[in-house]
Amino acid sequence: MAIRNPDMILIDVDGTLIDSAPDIAFCVDGMMARLGLPARGEAKVRLWVGNGAELLLKRALTGRMDGDPDRQLYERAAPIFFDLYAQNVSTRSRLYAGVEEGLAFLRGGGYRLGAVTNKPERFTLPLLAQMGVRDCFEIVVSGDSLPEKKPHPMPLLHAADALGIAPEYALMLGDSKNDVEAARAAGFQIVCVSYGYNHGEDIRAARPDAVIDSLTELAALLTQAA
């Protein structure tokens, strides 16, 4: 499908801009150790991230994608994880290769930019700042900024409304089927990166408008756009 040149681009954070799984896995395993439970390891955590902190912790505690742990166990675990993550939000995380170049192209091209993530705001803003990319975005919508989060379209439509951009002139850039579903429901175009966190599934199966291997490919993709 041909991409139309947008006025605004909203970008997912975890798995698209930043590889945050090493820090998240460190904190999950630290939480498990304090609870006297077995470590899960980074490989499993990479499959579990992307739907917000509550689901991540449920998956970690049960070891299943659709797990539902004992409520008392969850209530013991959550403060431990959040305390650990507050201290380790960017210790091991890194920008993906090509992100700095891609963001520089978008800013130089005059695109309106926003970040939309399911990560809680108290972790999102420090992470973006510590990775040196917070100032790239006019608006940041986190997982607890609104009553709904992706794959609901509300975060995307909220950002578009805040920046005064109609959905048909907007594009979402993400890494997961949540991003695709949110973009489709909001009337946005959707481009996905081939790396990132999509629960072990090939993002092409979600049928985004385009798939790129690096944000450095945005220049060619958008230059060719109608």
Q: Which of 7, 12, 23, 202 is catalytic?
A: 12
Q: Following CA atoms 114, 118, 122, 123 in sequence, which dihedral angle do they give, to the nearest 10 degrees?
A: -90
175 is catalytic: no
Cis, bond preceding 151 (omega within 30 deg of 0) = yes
Report which residue type is found at 182.
A
Instruction: Report yes or no: 215 and 103 within 8 Å, Cβ to Cβ.
Output: yes
CA separation for the pair 150, 118 (Å, rounded): 7
Instruction: Report yes or no: 86 and 127 within 8 Å, Cβ to Cβ.
Output: no
Q: Is the dihedral of CA 34, 37, 39, 45 positive or negative?
A: negative
Q: Following CA atoms 76, 80, 82, 88 in sequence, which dihedral angle do they give, to the nearest 10 degrees?
A: -160
Q: Which residues are catalytic?
A: 12
